[in-house]
Amino acid sequence: MRIPKEKQLEAICQGIKEFYELLNSRKRNNENLLSNITITKNELVEYLKTNPEIIKRYLYTKGSPRYHEQFIIEYDGGKYRVYEMNRDEERDVKEYDDFAEAGADYLISNLGLPPGFIN
């Protein structure tokens, strides 16, 4: 039984724990957990556009601590930036004009999903 797309979108936006709990709740035998993901990146972007408060929750605030191997989304100089912290250095910085596009990439990266997994 497929997980409804709305439930997948909600879980991705809630966090790692909630997302994997949803996937585990639908797992059968030796099935790959990620085979239950049926949403697309475009669907996630559209969901975030209609629910902008989700990304506001995750935006990094200047002066807040940044930890090793943590994904960050921030608004800086008119652009959204998504990157990973690695030993006090920003790694793989990507800039976006659109908050929903940046938010989708942040959420996908934060879940540990491989790049391009959700197309």
Going from the C-alpha of 27 to that of each of 8, 57, 78, 118, the distances in angstroms are: 14, 29, 42, 19
- Residue 119: the pLDDT is 67
If one counts the domains in the chain, the total is 1
- 26, part of any domain: yes
- 115, part of any domain: no
- Residue 116: the pLDDT is 65
Query: Which regions of the chain are under pLDDT 50?
Result: none
- Residue 117: the pLDDT is 65
- 101, part of any domain: yes
- 118, part of any domain: no
- 59, part of any domain: yes
- Residue 25: the pLDDT is 83
- 60, part of any domain: yes
- Residue 87: the pLDDT is 79
Mean pLDDT over the full length of the chain: 86
Range of the domain at 38: 5-110
- 119, part of any domain: no
- Residue 16: the pLDDT is 85
* pTM, to two decimals: 0.85
Q: CA 64 to CA 31: how far, in whole Å?
A: 40
Amino acid identity of residue 80, one-letter, is Y
